[in-house]
Every structure is written in C-alpha cells, then in structure tokens.
Amino acid sequence: KAGVTQTPRYLIKTRGQQVTLSCSPISGHRSVSWYQQTPGQGLQFLFEYFSETQRNKGNFPGRFSGRQFSNSRSEMNVSTLELGDSALYLCASSLSGKWDEQFFGPGTRLTVL
C-alpha cells in the first residue's frame, strides 16, 4: 500500500507570492490533516478535512486555506507569503480521523525569500 505522498518536496518562493501544496492520502483514508513544523514554533496544527469538509481548524491566519477533493486528495494554499511561513509542511491521513492512527507524509519544505 502506498504511503502518504506530498508534492512538491521542496519549494522556494518570494515574499508576497502564493503557493499550493498537495497531499495524496493513503488509499481509503478520508481524513487529511495539515501541520506546520518550524524550529521556533514546533509542530502546529493547521486544519483537518474529512469528506471534503473542513472539520477542525488551528490558529492560523486566513492566508492559510485548504480544500479536499472527492478522491480525498487535499491541497493547502498560502497566499501573500511572509518570511515566517518558511517551514516544513506535513500532511497526515487517517481512515476517519478522530481515534485512528495518522500516517504522515515526508513533508514539503517551503522556503520564502
């Protein structure tokens, strides 16, 4: 069974640009969660999607948004990039969310210059 895949693995953008990251969950998984990992703030929850609906949301500004498609693939968008958005963005999938094991992808390393 293929694991969680994230594309691209590395991305370099400049301030003010926008970026879209993609996550393909494990086949059959309907819940996709996104996390931001930085040296200063650690791992922080961004949001979770289940059956194309945002089910949980962390404390991030509206510049961070996401969506989920009918095949459970998810995208995360960050608009008007800031230097502080440089981070490793991790996606995790699980069968239905709440009490199931989350499987993490390798992450997308975003660098904002």
Partner 1 sequence: AQSVTQLGSHVSVSEGALVLLRCNYSSSVPPYLFWYVQYPNQGLQLLLKYTSAATLVKGINGFEAEFKKSETSFHLTKPSAHMSDAAEYFCAAGTASKLTFGTGTRLQVTL
Residues that bind partner 1 (CB under 8 A): 4, 31, 33, 35, 42-45, 48, 50, 55-56, 58, 90, 92, 94, 97-107
Whichever of 12 and 43 has its CB closer to partner 1, that residue is: 43
Contact between residue 95 and residue 30 where contact means Cβ atoms under 8 Å apart: yes
Whichever of 72 and 94 has its CB closer to partner 1, that residue is: 94
**DSSP string across 7-27:** E-SEEEE-TT--EEEEEEPPT
Whichever of 22 and 79 has its CB closer to partner 1, that residue is: 22
Distance CA 44, CA 47 (A): 10
Q: C-alpha distances in angstroms, 83 versus 8, 14, 31, 67, 103?
A: 19, 8, 29, 23, 28
Residue 93: name the closest of 84, 82, 104 by CA: 104
Main-chain phi, psi angles of 67, to 5 degrees? -160, 165
* Residue 16 beta carbon to partner 1: minimum distance, rounded to whole angstroms: 28
* Residue 55 beta carbon to partner 1: minimum distance, rounded to whole angstroms: 7
